[in-house]
A and B are shown apart, each in its own frame.
Chain A
Amino acid sequence: MNGAQVGFFILAGLLIVSSLWVVFQRNVVHSAMALVAALFLVAILFLTLNAPMVGVLQILVYAGAIMVLFLFVIMFLNPIGLEQRRRLWWGFGALAGLLLAGALVPVLTNGDAPRDPVVATELFGGPEELARSLFTDFVLPFEIASILLLVAIVGAVVLAKREP
């Protein structure tokens, strides 16, 4: 086990802990904060994978913008007290989660490595490489994504517009 792996396992462990925290916290704001932490740790994972651009965008978009809106809405609604646990749903959800984990763990652990994995180069996650692939190989998805965002904006405005 080399340094990189140690780093990975520390990060991954923290990530799992904070993700569990998201689920098991009964206080909504604490959950949201744990989610911020989890997203931040994912960003650091990207950094260790030679993809600083993606990592920073992760912080900027998720931890910086989306989670702030999350918190904003939570605070607007100002939930009083803690979330009540509904045993039936918890049982059902836990069962489904365990089933999924049971299906995923064996297949994810004893798999061979992919035959030709993508090799990360020095420039792999840098802005130049990212921009090049966005504007060459993935230019069509990139453009369609802009339509998607336009639709989402139009939709949000329509649904939130004050009725005359």
Chain B
Amino acid sequence: MDASLIPLLPGAQVLLTALVVMLLDLFIDEHERGLLAWISLLGLALCGAEAILLWGSSEGTFGDTLLLDNFALFFTQIFIAVAALTVLSSMRYVRETGIHEGEFYSLILFATTGMIVMAAANDLMVFFLGLETMSVAVYVLTGMWRSSARSSEAAMKYFLMGAFATGFLLYGIALIYGATGSTNLNQISAYLLEPQGQWPPYLFVGGLLLLVGFGFKVGAVPFHFWIPDVYEGAPTPVTGFMAVAVKAAAFAAWARILMHELSPLDSDWALPLRVLAIATMTIGNLLAISQPSVKRMLAYSSIAHAGYLLIGIVAGEEWGSTSLLFYLATYAPATFGAFAVITLLTEQDKPKEDYGHFAGLGFKRPFVAMAMSLFMLSLAGFPPLAGFTGKFHIFRSAIIAGHTDLAIIGVLNSLLSVIYYLRVIVMMYMNEGGVKGKSFIESPYLYTAVGLAAAATIYLGVLPMRTLEWSRSAFSSLF
């Protein structure tokens, strides 16, 4: 068996950093813990450099259970970027809220390792273990703010729901293994492409259960109940991490497993996926409108965005997949930035996340407000921001693939979403009151994170071609 270790490099780099951070934490003083964040950033930067250097390689290892191709590297870049932004934005936050720093950073890095494994996994077993590594780390991150009851509740809820979803996923994997005799995606794919049809019926049940499990992980609509509470209760930087990286990881695995390797089954789950996409978009948007808290609103908005992303999966083919990857890249900075701004507003370890707390922000802290407006407009899909190009490509792919109705529903939903996104902007610029001038939590690093996210939002909106090209080559590396 070939066992080239090169494909493991990005994941191993992050894992190594996590271990170094975890162990170093034991030996350094309380006030020197800031060092850990810098070590994490260094490790992530190294991993990013490796990912850039390895771009274009296509190599499988350990019997093709792990594939290093552009697809994996594309997602690796997203995960690393989000993890780095999370570390940046939580440097002061963790200290002020009494979260254990060493464990916090190492868990972020462990979760990132799990995600990288998920995106590169070419075997259902490896995928599952990556998913669990990520999930367990994120369950713990959710509950790490020990003095907040909401955080503990969110962790408990997330853990129970996540364990349940894992059960579905595992049962689905078991049935698929039973039907096809392998967990390796190449072999499953080969089995499905064999001409003499008549698959055992439990293959479909396995696929369906897999779908349910994925639905839970990305928060598609009948399985979305955990999202608002968990996103609201988790420490805000972690929420940003969850809303972007965890979702991207789930979509990465989904794209690789369902769109590529199980594509012979396409016709069988087109219908459930369509229903899922429409329900997710519509219900996510409708519920987001009525939320009193911005953080909760963003949680629902992330559900709605999962719905748009599902359009990409339904559309399939080259355009659908490319736009799916691109949409994830555009969705990431805006969502993460919005959560970073909420982190900025935290005051005396009291979260300030209602609409009322945003009132008058435009005059007191104009730059923060401007960044927040950018993120909101981008999420709503205004040109020339990232959200617009993302949505444009995803709806276009739906039309190309002949799902015009989906595209229309998507556009209508985007219009609907303008209501609540604009409400934040209106609050910031047209109302008086709200939070006082400076909050204790602000730090140059957090501002850097917000600034980077804003820059990425503009960049992806104005000059999308390069990223689009990357996502296309990432997608085509699947074949």
Contact = CB atoms under 8 A, between A and B. Distances in A.
In the complex, A touching B (Cβ < 8 A): yes
A145 to B, nearest CB: 6
Interface string A24-38: 000000000000000
Contacts of B198: 112
A150 B19 CA distance: 10
A103 B209 CA distance: 11
B155 A114 contact: no
Contacts of A114: 178-181, 200
Contact of B129 (A117, A148, A163): A148
Interface string A128-147: 00000000111111001101
B141 to A, nearest CB: 9
A119 B211 CA distance: 29
A140 B62 contact: yes
Contacts, number: 96
B71 to A, nearest CB: 18
B63 interface: yes
Contacts of A140: 61-62, 65-66, 126
B136 A141 contact: no
A110 B205 CA distance: 13
Contact of A159 (B15, B123, B143, B180): B143
Given A117-B181, A154-B106, A155-B107, A148 B133 contact: yes
A154 B107 contact: yes
Contacts of A148: 114, 129, 132-133, 136
A139 B143 CA distance: 32
B53 to A, nearest CB: 22
B133 A159 contact: no
B6 to A, nearest CB: 14
Nearest to B61: A140
Interface string B204-224: 110010000000000000000
A116 B201 CA distance: 16
B140 A111 contact: no
Contact of B136 (A107, A111, A113, A151): A151
Interface string A105-123: 0111011111111100000
B265 interface: no
B129 A110 contact: no
Given A111-B202, A112-B198, A148-B136, A141 B129 contact: yes
Interface of A: 103-104, 106-108, 110-118, 136-141, 144-145, 147-148, 150-152, 154-155, 157-159, 161, 163
18 contacts: A106-B201, A107-B202, A108-B202, A111-B201, A112-B198, A114-B179, A114-B200, A115-B181, A118-B181, A136-B1, A141-B123, A144-B117, A144-B129, A148-B114, A151-B137, A154-B107, A158-B107, A159-B144
